[in-house]
Structure 1
Amino acid sequence: MSETVTGSAAEPAAEPDFRIATAADVPALVELVESAYRGEASRAGWTSEADLLGGRRTDAEAVAEAVGHAEGLVLLAERDGELLACCQLERRGDRAYFGMFSVRPGLQGGGIGRVVLARAERLAGEEWGVGAMEMSVIEQRPELIAWYERRGFHRTGEFSPFPYGNERFGVPRRPDLRFERLVKELNAA
Protein backbone atom coordinates (compact mmCIF):
# COMPACT_ATOMS: atom_id res chain seq x y z
CA MET A 1 0.00 0.00 0.00
CA SER A 2 1.35 3.41 -0.95
CA GLU A 3 1.30 6.09 1.67
CA THR A 4 1.75 9.77 0.94
CA VAL A 5 3.57 12.05 3.35
CA THR A 6 2.04 15.47 2.97
CA GLY A 7 3.54 18.85 3.68
CA SER A 8 1.97 21.95 5.17
CA ALA A 9 0.61 24.80 3.08
CA ALA A 10 3.33 27.06 4.49
CA GLU A 11 6.11 25.10 2.80
CA PRO A 12 7.60 26.58 -0.38
CA ALA A 13 6.17 25.47 -3.73
CA ALA A 14 9.63 24.21 -4.79
CA GLU A 15 9.57 21.50 -2.14
CA PRO A 16 9.36 18.03 -3.67
CA ASP A 17 6.51 15.61 -3.18
CA PHE A 18 7.23 12.98 -0.55
CA ARG A 19 5.93 9.44 -0.36
CA ILE A 20 6.82 6.10 1.16
CA ALA A 21 8.53 3.65 -1.22
CA THR A 22 6.89 0.40 -2.26
CA ALA A 23 8.34 -2.78 -3.75
CA ALA A 24 7.69 -1.33 -7.22
CA ASP A 25 10.23 1.43 -6.47
CA VAL A 26 13.15 -0.93 -5.77
CA PRO A 27 14.79 -0.81 -9.26
CA ALA A 28 14.69 3.02 -9.37
CA LEU A 29 16.05 3.20 -5.83
CA VAL A 30 18.98 0.91 -6.62
CA GLU A 31 19.81 3.09 -9.64
CA LEU A 32 19.59 6.30 -7.57
CA VAL A 33 21.78 5.00 -4.74
CA GLU A 34 24.39 3.64 -7.15
CA SER A 35 24.49 6.91 -9.11
CA ALA A 36 24.94 8.97 -5.95
CA TYR A 37 27.85 6.97 -4.50
CA ARG A 38 29.64 4.72 -6.98
CA GLY A 39 31.08 4.76 -10.43
CA GLU A 40 31.74 7.61 -12.82
CA ALA A 41 28.17 8.96 -12.64
CA SER A 42 28.66 9.65 -8.92
CA ARG A 43 31.56 12.00 -9.64
CA ALA A 44 29.06 14.61 -10.91
CA GLY A 45 28.04 15.12 -7.25
CA TRP A 46 30.03 15.57 -4.08
CA THR A 47 28.86 12.44 -2.23
CA SER A 48 30.82 10.02 -4.40
CA GLU A 49 32.65 7.23 -2.61
CA ALA A 50 34.31 6.12 -5.87
CA ASP A 51 37.82 6.98 -4.61
CA LEU A 52 37.27 4.93 -1.44
CA LEU A 53 35.23 2.00 -2.71
CA GLY A 54 34.60 0.17 -5.93
CA GLY A 55 31.86 -2.28 -6.71
CA ARG A 56 28.25 -1.79 -5.82
CA ARG A 57 26.84 0.35 -2.99
CA THR A 58 23.66 -1.71 -2.71
CA ASP A 59 21.55 -4.26 -4.53
CA ALA A 60 17.88 -5.01 -5.09
CA GLU A 61 17.77 -7.44 -2.15
CA ALA A 62 19.09 -4.88 0.35
CA VAL A 63 16.81 -2.13 -0.93
CA ALA A 64 13.77 -4.43 -0.89
CA GLU A 65 14.64 -5.34 2.71
CA ALA A 66 14.70 -1.63 3.67
CA VAL A 67 11.44 -0.93 1.82
CA GLY A 68 9.68 -3.85 3.50
CA HIS A 69 11.18 -3.45 6.99
CA ALA A 70 8.48 -3.78 9.66
CA GLU A 71 9.98 -0.96 11.76
CA GLY A 72 11.08 1.29 8.95
CA LEU A 73 10.47 2.91 5.62
CA VAL A 74 12.21 4.44 2.64
CA LEU A 75 11.16 8.03 2.04
CA LEU A 76 11.13 9.25 -1.57
CA ALA A 77 11.38 12.85 -2.77
CA GLU A 78 9.94 13.34 -6.25
CA ARG A 79 9.03 16.17 -8.57
CA ASP A 80 6.73 15.61 -11.52
CA GLY A 81 7.10 11.86 -11.05
CA GLU A 82 10.93 11.95 -11.18
CA LEU A 83 12.81 10.42 -8.25
CA LEU A 84 15.15 13.10 -6.88
CA ALA A 85 16.29 11.71 -3.54
CA CYS A 86 15.62 9.07 -0.91
CA CYS A 87 16.49 8.03 2.61
CA GLN A 88 15.87 5.08 4.87
CA LEU A 89 14.47 5.44 8.37
CA GLU A 90 14.36 2.56 10.81
CA ARG A 91 12.87 2.76 14.29
CA ARG A 92 15.29 1.41 16.89
CA GLY A 93 13.67 1.90 20.28
CA ASP A 94 13.89 5.57 21.25
CA ARG A 95 16.03 6.39 18.20
CA ALA A 96 15.70 6.32 14.44
CA TYR A 97 18.46 5.08 12.16
CA PHE A 98 18.97 7.26 9.07
CA GLY A 99 20.62 5.67 6.06
CA MET A 100 20.62 5.08 2.31
CA PHE A 101 20.50 8.88 1.88
CA SER A 102 20.88 9.59 -1.82
CA VAL A 103 20.41 12.66 -4.01
CA ARG A 104 20.77 12.60 -7.80
CA PRO A 105 24.35 13.74 -8.51
CA GLY A 106 23.30 16.67 -10.72
CA LEU A 107 21.05 18.01 -7.95
CA GLN A 108 23.57 17.75 -5.11
CA GLY A 109 24.47 21.08 -3.56
CA GLY A 110 21.12 22.59 -4.53
CA GLY A 111 19.32 22.16 -1.20
CA ILE A 112 17.26 19.04 -1.86
CA GLY A 113 19.34 17.03 0.63
CA ARG A 114 18.61 19.53 3.41
CA VAL A 115 14.89 19.34 2.62
CA VAL A 116 14.87 15.52 2.67
CA LEU A 117 16.87 15.38 5.90
CA ALA A 118 14.51 17.89 7.56
CA ARG A 119 11.47 15.86 6.47
CA ALA A 120 13.04 12.66 7.82
CA GLU A 121 13.78 14.38 11.15
CA ARG A 122 10.17 15.61 11.42
CA LEU A 123 8.80 12.18 10.59
CA ALA A 124 11.05 10.46 13.14
CA GLY A 125 10.58 13.04 15.88
CA GLU A 126 6.95 14.06 15.47
CA GLU A 127 5.27 10.99 13.99
CA TRP A 128 7.39 8.26 15.57
CA GLY A 129 8.13 10.18 18.75
CA VAL A 130 11.79 9.18 18.91
CA GLY A 131 14.28 11.41 20.70
CA ALA A 132 17.28 11.08 18.40
CA MET A 133 18.38 10.15 14.92
CA GLU A 134 21.62 8.27 14.32
CA MET A 135 23.66 7.15 11.35
CA SER A 136 26.98 5.63 10.37
CA VAL A 137 29.31 7.56 8.06
CA ILE A 138 32.64 6.44 6.65
CA GLU A 139 35.21 8.27 8.77
CA GLN A 140 37.28 9.07 5.69
CA ARG A 141 34.50 11.37 4.41
CA PRO A 142 35.28 14.56 6.40
CA GLU A 143 33.29 16.81 4.04
CA LEU A 144 30.21 14.64 4.50
CA ILE A 145 30.62 14.51 8.28
CA ALA A 146 31.01 18.31 8.30
CA TRP A 147 27.75 18.65 6.31
CA TYR A 148 25.91 16.59 8.94
CA GLU A 149 27.54 18.56 11.77
CA ARG A 150 26.23 21.79 10.23
CA ARG A 151 22.77 20.23 10.47
CA GLY A 152 23.05 19.43 14.17
CA PHE A 153 24.57 15.95 14.22
CA HIS A 154 27.52 15.35 16.48
CA ARG A 155 30.34 12.87 16.27
CA THR A 156 30.24 10.24 18.99
CA GLY A 157 33.77 8.87 18.66
CA GLU A 158 32.15 5.43 18.40
CA PHE A 159 33.52 3.45 15.48
CA SER A 160 32.67 0.18 13.80
CA PRO A 161 34.84 -1.64 11.30
CA PHE A 162 34.19 -1.65 7.59
CA PRO A 163 33.01 -5.14 6.55
CA TYR A 164 36.12 -6.05 4.56
CA GLY A 165 35.61 -9.21 2.54
CA ASN A 166 31.87 -8.64 2.10
CA GLU A 167 31.51 -7.20 -1.39
CA ARG A 168 27.84 -6.45 -0.75
CA PHE A 169 29.16 -3.23 0.84
CA GLY A 170 31.70 -2.49 -1.88
CA VAL A 171 35.30 -3.24 -2.70
CA PRO A 172 37.61 -1.12 -0.52
CA ARG A 173 40.36 0.83 -2.25
CA ARG A 174 42.24 1.40 1.02
CA PRO A 175 42.86 -0.62 4.21
CA ASP A 176 41.78 1.89 6.90
CA LEU A 177 38.05 2.37 6.33
CA ARG A 178 35.71 2.43 9.29
CA PHE A 179 32.35 3.94 10.21
CA GLU A 180 31.70 6.61 12.82
CA ARG A 181 28.32 6.89 14.52
CA LEU A 182 26.73 10.37 14.34
CA VAL A 183 23.73 11.38 16.47
CA LYS A 184 21.28 14.27 16.46
CA GLU A 185 18.85 14.92 19.27
CA LEU A 186 15.31 15.55 18.03
CA ASN A 187 12.54 17.59 19.60
CA ALA A 188 9.94 14.85 19.75
CA ALA A 189 6.38 15.99 20.11
Structure 2
Amino acid sequence: MNPFLHFRAATAADTTAIVQLVESAYRGDASRAGWTTEADFLDGRRTGTDDVAACLARPRSRILLAERDGALLACAHVAEEDGCGYFGMFAVQPGLQGTGIGKLVLAECERIARDDWQLPAMRMTVIDIRDELIAFYQRRGYHRTGVFKPFPYGDARFGLPLRDDLRFEILEKPLPEDIPA
Protein backbone atom coordinates (compact mmCIF):
# COMPACT_ATOMS: atom_id res chain seq x y z
CA MET A 1 0.00 0.00 0.00
CA ASN A 2 1.12 3.53 -0.75
CA PRO A 3 2.36 4.96 2.59
CA PHE A 4 1.32 8.46 1.57
CA LEU A 5 -2.33 7.52 0.97
CA HIS A 6 -4.67 7.47 3.97
CA PHE A 7 -8.04 5.69 3.89
CA ARG A 8 -10.97 6.60 6.11
CA ALA A 9 -14.73 6.23 6.17
CA ALA A 10 -16.68 9.30 5.11
CA THR A 11 -18.99 11.15 7.45
CA ALA A 12 -21.84 13.54 6.72
CA ALA A 13 -19.35 16.40 6.97
CA ASP A 14 -17.63 15.06 3.81
CA THR A 15 -20.78 15.15 1.65
CA THR A 16 -20.05 18.32 -0.33
CA ALA A 17 -16.46 17.28 -1.06
CA ILE A 18 -17.61 13.82 -2.24
CA VAL A 19 -20.22 15.28 -4.60
CA GLN A 20 -17.68 17.76 -6.01
CA LEU A 21 -15.10 15.00 -6.57
CA VAL A 22 -17.54 12.63 -8.29
CA GLU A 23 -18.95 15.38 -10.50
CA SER A 24 -15.44 16.51 -11.51
CA ALA A 25 -14.45 12.97 -12.50
CA TYR A 26 -17.47 12.25 -14.70
CA ARG A 27 -19.26 15.39 -15.86
CA GLY A 28 -18.43 18.58 -17.69
CA ASP A 29 -15.20 19.89 -19.15
CA ALA A 30 -13.21 19.32 -15.94
CA SER A 31 -13.79 15.58 -16.29
CA ARG A 32 -12.05 15.54 -19.69
CA ALA A 33 -8.68 15.87 -17.89
CA GLY A 34 -9.11 12.22 -16.84
CA TRP A 35 -10.07 9.07 -18.70
CA THR A 36 -13.26 8.27 -16.76
CA THR A 37 -15.32 11.11 -18.22
CA GLU A 38 -18.89 10.41 -19.27
CA ALA A 39 -19.32 13.92 -20.70
CA ASP A 40 -19.74 12.66 -24.28
CA PHE A 41 -22.84 10.59 -23.50
CA LEU A 42 -24.27 11.93 -20.23
CA ASP A 43 -24.92 15.44 -18.99
CA GLY A 44 -26.50 16.63 -15.75
CA ARG A 45 -25.61 15.30 -12.35
CA ARG A 46 -23.66 12.12 -11.55
CA THR A 47 -24.47 12.10 -7.84
CA GLY A 48 -25.94 14.39 -5.23
CA THR A 49 -26.12 15.00 -1.52
CA ASP A 50 -29.17 12.73 -1.38
CA ASP A 51 -27.16 9.80 -2.82
CA VAL A 52 -24.31 10.35 -0.38
CA ALA A 53 -26.70 10.59 2.58
CA ALA A 54 -28.41 7.35 1.54
CA CYS A 55 -25.06 5.54 1.30
CA LEU A 56 -23.96 6.81 4.69
CA ALA A 57 -27.27 5.82 6.35
CA ARG A 58 -27.38 2.31 4.90
CA PRO A 59 -26.27 -0.64 7.07
CA ARG A 60 -23.05 -2.38 5.94
CA SER A 61 -22.26 0.50 3.65
CA ARG A 62 -19.25 2.79 3.60
CA ILE A 63 -17.98 5.60 1.43
CA LEU A 64 -14.24 5.15 1.48
CA LEU A 65 -12.12 8.28 1.14
CA ALA A 66 -8.50 8.27 -0.02
CA GLU A 67 -6.57 11.31 1.18
CA ARG A 68 -3.02 12.58 1.08
CA ASP A 69 -1.96 15.34 3.47
CA GLY A 70 -5.63 16.00 4.25
CA ALA A 71 -6.63 16.47 0.58
CA LEU A 72 -9.36 14.26 -0.87
CA LEU A 73 -7.95 12.38 -3.88
CA ALA A 74 -10.47 9.59 -4.44
CA CYS A 75 -13.61 7.96 -3.11
CA ALA A 76 -15.73 4.87 -3.60
CA HIS A 77 -18.86 3.37 -2.13
CA VAL A 78 -18.70 -0.22 -0.90
CA ALA A 79 -21.73 -1.98 0.54
CA GLU A 80 -23.36 -5.33 1.00
CA GLU A 81 -26.02 -6.00 -1.62
CA ASP A 82 -27.73 -9.32 -2.29
CA GLY A 83 -25.12 -11.25 -0.28
CA CYS A 84 -22.12 -9.78 -2.16
CA GLY A 85 -20.09 -6.62 -2.05
CA TYR A 86 -21.20 -3.76 -4.27
CA PHE A 87 -18.71 -1.19 -5.57
CA GLY A 88 -19.81 2.19 -6.93
CA MET A 89 -19.51 5.98 -6.72
CA PHE A 90 -15.83 5.52 -7.64
CA ALA A 91 -13.97 8.71 -8.45
CA VAL A 92 -10.36 9.86 -8.62
CA GLN A 93 -9.41 13.51 -9.18
CA PRO A 94 -9.16 13.83 -12.99
CA GLY A 95 -5.54 15.04 -12.94
CA LEU A 96 -4.51 12.05 -10.80
CA GLN A 97 -6.20 9.34 -12.85
CA GLY A 98 -3.74 6.80 -14.17
CA THR A 99 -1.36 7.20 -11.19
CA GLY A 100 -2.39 4.01 -9.37
CA ILE A 101 -4.61 5.64 -6.74
CA GLY A 102 -7.75 4.04 -8.20
CA LYS A 103 -6.21 0.56 -8.04
CA LEU A 104 -5.45 1.09 -4.35
CA VAL A 105 -8.98 2.30 -3.63
CA LEU A 106 -10.52 -0.66 -5.45
CA ALA A 107 -8.25 -3.09 -3.56
CA GLU A 108 -9.18 -1.52 -0.21
CA CYS A 109 -12.91 -1.78 -1.02
CA GLU A 110 -12.41 -5.44 -1.95
CA ARG A 111 -10.57 -5.96 1.35
CA ILE A 112 -13.46 -4.41 3.30
CA ALA A 113 -16.03 -6.63 1.56
CA ARG A 114 -13.90 -9.76 1.98
CA ASP A 115 -12.28 -9.30 5.40
CA ASP A 116 -14.63 -7.02 7.33
CA TRP A 117 -17.93 -8.35 5.98
CA GLN A 118 -16.88 -11.87 4.80
CA LEU A 119 -18.57 -11.46 1.42
CA PRO A 120 -17.73 -13.95 -1.37
CA ALA A 121 -17.66 -11.58 -4.35
CA MET A 122 -17.71 -7.96 -5.45
CA ARG A 123 -20.14 -6.66 -8.06
CA MET A 124 -20.57 -3.38 -9.86
CA THR A 125 -22.58 -1.93 -12.71
CA VAL A 126 -20.80 -0.24 -15.61
CA ILE A 127 -22.32 1.43 -18.65
CA ASP A 128 -21.59 -1.23 -21.27
CA ILE A 129 -20.24 1.17 -23.93
CA ARG A 130 -17.34 2.03 -21.58
CA ASP A 131 -14.89 -0.44 -23.16
CA GLU A 132 -11.77 1.16 -21.66
CA LEU A 133 -13.29 1.19 -18.17
CA ILE A 134 -14.50 -2.41 -18.46
CA ALA A 135 -10.99 -3.41 -19.60
CA PHE A 136 -9.55 -1.69 -16.48
CA TYR A 137 -11.79 -3.82 -14.26
CA GLN A 138 -11.09 -6.99 -16.25
CA ARG A 139 -7.36 -6.49 -15.64
CA ARG A 140 -8.22 -6.50 -11.93
CA GLY A 141 -10.05 -9.84 -12.10
CA TYR A 142 -13.61 -8.75 -12.86
CA HIS A 143 -15.59 -10.56 -15.51
CA ARG A 144 -18.55 -9.53 -17.58
CA THR A 145 -21.62 -11.44 -16.46
CA GLY A 146 -23.81 -10.77 -19.50
CA VAL A 147 -26.47 -9.52 -17.08
CA PHE A 148 -27.76 -6.11 -18.11
CA LYS A 149 -29.88 -3.48 -16.39
CA PRO A 150 -31.68 -0.74 -18.27
CA PHE A 151 -30.44 2.83 -17.98
CA PRO A 152 -33.01 4.89 -16.01
CA TYR A 153 -34.00 7.19 -18.86
CA GLY A 154 -36.21 10.02 -17.67
CA ASP A 155 -34.78 10.07 -14.14
CA ALA A 156 -32.51 13.14 -13.96
CA ARG A 157 -30.93 11.81 -10.74
CA PHE A 158 -28.86 9.52 -12.99
CA GLY A 159 -27.90 12.15 -15.54
CA LEU A 160 -29.27 13.44 -18.82
CA PRO A 161 -28.46 10.94 -21.59
CA LEU A 162 -27.05 12.29 -24.83
CA ARG A 163 -27.70 9.00 -26.65
CA ASP A 164 -30.41 6.35 -26.58
CA ASP A 165 -28.38 3.12 -26.34
CA LEU A 166 -27.17 3.23 -22.73
CA ARG A 167 -27.49 0.27 -20.38
CA PHE A 168 -25.57 -1.17 -17.45
CA GLU A 169 -23.74 -4.49 -17.31
CA ILE A 170 -22.95 -6.22 -14.05
CA LEU A 171 -19.27 -7.07 -13.54
CA GLU A 172 -18.25 -9.51 -10.82
CA LYS A 173 -15.10 -10.74 -9.10
CA PRO A 174 -14.78 -13.57 -6.58
CA LEU A 175 -13.11 -12.53 -3.33
CA PRO A 176 -11.21 -15.59 -2.13
CA GLU A 177 -10.58 -15.78 1.61
CA ASP A 178 -6.88 -16.62 1.38
CA ILE A 179 -5.44 -13.53 -0.32
CA PRO A 180 -1.71 -13.22 0.41
CA ALA A 181 -0.71 -10.03 2.21
TM-score bucket of the superposed structures, by smaller chain = over 0.9
- In structure 1, the residue matched to 2:128 is 139
Do structure 1's residue 122 and structure 2's residue 108 form an aligned pair? no
- In structure 2, the residue matched to 1:85 is 74
- In structure 2, the residue matched to 1:51 is 40
- In structure 1, the residue matched to 2:31 is 42
Bigger shift: 59-68 or 178-187?
59-68
Q: How far does the alpha carbon of each residue in 1:113-171 deviate from its partner, in whole angstroms, 9 at most, with x for none?
A: 00100111111101110000000000010000000000000000000100000011000
Question: Which TM-score applies when normalising by structure 2?
Answer: 0.96
Counterpart among 154, 170, 173 of residue 181 in structure 1: 170
Counterpart among 15, 23, 26 of residue 26 in structure 1: 15
Secondary structure, counterpart of 1:43 in structure 2 = helix
Unaligned runs of 5+ in 2: none
Structure 1 residues 23 and 150 mapped into 2: Cα distance closer, same or farther (>3 Å)? same
Secondary structure, counterpart of 1:57 in structure 2 = coil
Q: Which amino acid aligns with 1:179?
A: F
Unaligned runs of 5+ in 1: 1-10
- In structure 1, the residue matched to 2:3 is 13
Matched residue pairs, number?
178
Superposition CA RMSD, Å: 1.0
Secondary structure, counterpart of 2:145 in structure 1 = strand
CA separation in 2, counterparts of 1:174 and 1:35? 21
Cα deviation for residue 42 of structure 1 reads 0.3
Question: Which TM-score applies when normalising by structure 1?
Answer: 0.92
Q: How far does the alpha carbon of each residue in 1:36-63 deviate from its partner, in whole angstroms, 9 at most, with x for none?
A: 0001100000000000100110111111
Secondary structure, counterpart of 2:152 in structure 1 = coil
CA separation in 2, counterparts of 1:101 and 1:18? 14
Cα deviation for residue 94 of structure 1 reads 2.8
Q: Which amino acid aligns with 1:19?
A: R
Q: Which runs of 4+ in 1 moved over 2 A?
A: 11-14
Identity of aligned residues (%): 58
Cα deviation for residue 179 of structure 1 reads 0.1
CA separation in 1, counterparts of 2:95 and 2:77? 21
Q: 1:158 touches 1:181 (CA, 8 Å); kept in 2?
A: yes
Cα deviation for residue 93 of structure 1 reads 4.4
Do structure 1's residue 110 and structure 2's residue 91 form an aligned pair? no
Q: 1:23 touches 1:68 (CA, 8 Å); kept in 2?
A: no
- In structure 1, the residue matched to 2:138 is 149
